Amino acid sequence: MAVVLGIESSCDETAAALVTSDRRIIAQRIASQDEAHAPYGGVVPEIAARAHAERLAPMIEAVMADAGMDYGDLDAVAATAGPGLIGGVMVGLVSAKALAMATGKPLLAINHLEGHALSPRLADGDLGFPYALLLVSGGHCQILRVDGVGRYTRLATTIDDALGEAFDKTAKILGLGYPGGPAVERLAREGDPGVVPLPRPLVGSGEPHFSFAGLKSAVVRAKESGRFRDADLAASFQQAALDCVLDRLRVALDHADAMPALVVAGGVAANQVIRAALEQFARERGMRFVAPPLALCTDNAAMIGWAGCERLASGQDDPLDFQARPRWPLDPDAEPVRGAGYKA
């Protein structure tokens, strides 16, 4: 049984966790920076990096103390090495390098997306490869085929905004603050999803990619028209986004070899309406549906520690001069998508 320290600092959560190869989270701590970024309506990289630098070392000490462990008890040190905001990533990665160096234990430079991609296997010991993964967060929006540790095939990506980003922008338009996803979901419960006519970008297209920019612009126009209640806007947006997700998923899976399970990961997987719809979608296709517990969906260090355990078990580790990578696609061979701005 191996114990791996996981460190996450790629966006606005500072987190550390101790995870074992037999799927136990021995200790974990997480500090959100929501309040620091709220006045700006989004994450400010410089503020994020400074906050990680201030909080991470004491947090690692606290996690070790929570577990009653010494650094010598670790089998490896894992940290997010990208993709993400480079200042924050470097704080976590350099901390991990220092610990690996001092303890003489392996360093694991983890792709944050691999953390999300493998997190369902931490929660569910029965989930084997391959599986279809819908990865939907603030920065990422992809459908992947996961064949093993380090073996990812991208089936679809977004040509503009990520799904979580669309939720965050809608929240901003409706004056709900940041982070927006949970606030939009809450307000949507009081609204009617059929009231505001909104587009479903790319629905019906034979390519499985996503697009949410046009949906966001339509929400802006609907809000400015003054004709709709905010709750109806929130509910109609959520429904339109969900319709896009289900249609895109259908196209992606129809084009791919059959997979026994559908897995959702990333912050948007915390949305109960989307989760329920995905569960039904999977059932109709005869697929098992796996969604990690909410705390494992949004950014956390347990998923980084777990990805470390998986990579350690498959005999992989990384050199001490490993470079932080602000951009780091899970499937480097995937063709660029026409019209796409960068999304990892």
Residues that bind Zn ion (CB under 5 A): 137, 299
Report 53-92 residues binding ligand KG4 (CB under 6 A): none
Report the distance separating Cα 146 and Cα 106, nearest Å: 25
Single out the residue of 179, 193, 292, 329 in contact with ligand KG4 (rule: CB under 6 A): 179
**139 near ligand KG4, rule: CB under 6 A:** yes
For residues 297 and 62, give the distance between their C-alpha atoms in angstroms, rounded to a whole number: 23
What token pair was written down for 33? 């920076």
Total number of residues that touch ligand KG4 (CB under 6 A): 20
Determine the interface stretch with ligand KG4 among 38-46, 67-75, 174-182, 197-205 (rule: CB under 6 A): 174-182
Residue among 299, 306, 329, 343 that touches ligand KG4 (CB under 6 A): 299
When binding is defined by CB under 6 A, the residue of 181, 191, 208, 305 that contacts ligand KG4 is 181
- Residue 39: alpha-carbon gap to chain centroid: 23
Q: How far is the CB of 257 from ligand KG4 (least distance, A)?
A: 27
Of 91, 263, 298, 301, the one binding ligand KG4 by CB under 6 A: 298
Residue 167, contacted partner among Zn ion, ligand KG4, none, CB below 5-8 A by kind: ligand KG4
Q: How many Å apart are CA 2 and CA 148, to the nearest integer? A: 20
Looking only at the bridges linking them, the beta strands covering 13-20 and 3-8 are antiparallel
Cα distances (angstroms) measured from residue 109 to each of 91, 286, 324: 13, 36, 8
Decide if residue 270 touches ligand KG4 (CB under 6 A): yes
Shortest distance in whole angstroms from residue 56 CB to Zn ion: 17
* The only residue of 92, 138, 191, 208 in contact with ligand KG4, by rule CB under 6 A: 138
Least spacing, CB of residue 262 vs ligand KG4, in Å: 18
**Residue 292 makes contact with ligand KG4 by CB under 6 A:** no
User: Is residue 180 at the binding interface for ligand KG4, with CB under 6 A as the rule?
Assistant: yes
> Tokens 């350690």 appear where?
312
Angle, to 10 degrees, between the axis of helix 180-188 and the axis of helix 272-284? Answer: 80
Site residues (vs ligand KG4, CB under 6 A):
11, 137-139, 164-165, 167-168, 179-182, 185, 266-268, 270-271, 298-299
